[in-house]
Amino acid sequence: MTTPELEPFGARLRRAMDTRGPLCVGIDPHASLLADWGLNDDVAGLERFTMTVVEALGGETAVFKPQSAFFERFGSRGLAVLERAVAQARAAGALVLMDAKRGDIGSTMGAYAATYLEKDSPLFSDAVTVSPYLGFGSLRPALDAARISGAGVFVLALTSNPEGAEVQRATVADGRSVAQVMLDHIATENAGATPLGSVGAVVGATLGDAHADLDVNGPLLAPGIGAQGATPADLPRVFGAALRNVLPSVSRGVLKFGPDSVGLRAAAARFADETRAAVAEA
Residues with catalytic roles: 101
> Mapping DSSP to helix (H, G, I), strand (E, B) and coil, where does residue 37 land?
coil
Closest CA to 52 of 64, 143, 156, 19: 64
Task: List CB contacts of 143: < 8 A, sequence separation 6 or more.
Answer: 153, 189, 199
Quote the strand ranges of 32-114, DSSP E: 63-66, 95-102
CA 261 to chain centre: 22
Half-sphere exposure of 234 (CA within 13 A, CB side): 19
CA distances from 241 to 168, 206, 220 (A): 22, 17, 12
Length, in residues, of the chain: 282
Distance separating alpha carbons of residues 55 and 211, to the nearest angstrom: 39
Angle between helices 43-57 and 75-91 (to 10 degrees): 10
Question: Helix, strand, coil % (nearest 5) of the chain?
Answer: 50, 15, 35
If one counts every other C-beta atom within 10 angstroms of the C-beta of residue 184, the result is 15
- By the 10 Å C-beta count (0-12 exposed, 13-18 middle, 19+ buried), 259 is classed as middle
